[in-house]
Amino acid sequence: MKKQLAILALISVTGIIFAAPQTFDFKDPKGINNAGFKLDAPLEAINGSASGVSGTVTFDPGNPGATQGKIIVATGSLMLPNPMQRQHMLGDKWLDATKFPEISFESKTFKNVQTAGDTTTADVTGTFTLKGVSKEITVPVKLTCLKDKLGDRVPNQKGDLLVIRASFTIKRGDFNIMPGQFEDKVSDAIEITLSIAGASPK
Amino acid sequence: MKKTLRLIAAILLGGSIIFWAAAGANRGWTKTRVPIKIVDAVTGLEGIQWQDKFVPGVDFLGVALLGAGVLAGISIFVPRKSEPPTIETEP
């Protein structure tokens, strides 16, 4: 009986340890993490990406709905194929990267949480901040927790990985980026795709 | 001189069109870097790396057309090469 109780206690403790919330750091040493953006205007399509991703997310595999975190993208890391276009984009009339060096999303609530295996999908409501303007938006996200896979990605490190994928659309006019101007060349709608992985070393 | 200017204009225009077409006939603005997709084997994430590469666009063609037009225009004002004077000899 004592032995059975001890085993039960051990299983419970192990379960608690595995279900404990983990903090994942999204600064990627491999430089894969990126946020893509696309503006499809009638006269011109603009495609770019940003690599300066950072931030932390606290994820509990036992309770994915309680996930909290903030992802930051350095405005200066936004890239375009044309250097003059990039210069204009980062300039004071458009994103004003000097004055507003960060674009961020901070989660508040998770809804419609569905978990299958190591993958969770949810609708995350949070605060999106761009050019100093903060707005509450809801973003569909897909989280994949890869247990003990950190070592496969970063040599000599043990731990877990959390992969986040999200696609959503914002309107630049809502964030005071030349509202109502040049919409034939620079679309008001900006499609954003987030593909990032965070590490939680043990 | 007139012929040389027109020949240079034609070569400039023709060469630019061939170069633009050979580089992928990009109908957007000229690019000096292109995105290269890389896949992370562990996470399956698609990352983007920017590689320096010159891809001429419609602005490149426009500049070439303008340059060729200027050269052709200048050639109009260049006087024709005058005929060498003939010396008449008495019989």
The interface residues of chain A toward chain B in range 106-125, judged by CB-CB distance below 8 A, are: none
pLDDT, greater one: B10 or A43: B10
CB-facing half-sphere around the CA of A39: CA atoms within 13 A:
22
Q: Hey, which CATH number is domain A21-201, 3.40.50.300, 2.40.128.110, 2.40.40.20, 3.30.70.580?
A: 2.40.128.110
A with B: how many residue pairs have Cβ under 8 Å apart? 62
Residues of B in contact with A197 (CB under 8 A): 40, 43, 45
- Identify the residue with better confidence: A8 or B57: B57
Residues of A in contact with B48 (CB under 8 A): 34, 36, 49, 51
pLDDT at residue A2, rounded to an integer: 61
Check CB contact under 8 Å for B50 and A79. Answer: yes
Q: How far away is chain A from the Cα of B33, in angstroms, using its nearest Cα? A: 5
pTM: 0.81
Please report the pLDDT score of residue A30 as a whole number: 87
Cβ–Cβ gap A30/B40 under 8 Å: yes
pLDDT of residue B91: 60
- What residues in B contact A79, CB-CB < 8 Å? 33, 35, 50
Q: Which 3 state secondary structure label does DSSP give A15? A: helix
Angle subtended at Cα A28 by Cα A25 and Cα A32, rounded to the nearest 5 degrees:
135
Residue B78 pLDDT grade (very low, low, confident, very high; cuts 50, 70, 90): confident
pLDDT band at B88 (very low <50, low <70, confident <90, very high): low
Inter-residue contact A37 to A95 (CB < 8 Å): no
Give residue limits of the domains in chain A. Answer: 21-201
Burial of residue A147, with CB atoms counted within 10 A of its CB: 0-12 exposed, 13-18 middle, 19 or more buried: exposed
Whole-number pLDDT of residue B83? 62
How far out from the chain centre does Cα A33 lie?
Answer: 9
3-state secondary structure of B84: coil
A192 has which bridge partners? A37, A168
pLDDT of residue A72: 97
pLDDT at A197: 97
Q: Of A69-83, A167-181, B69-83, where does mean pLDDT reach its minimum? A: B69-83
Share of chain A above pLDDT 70, in %: 91
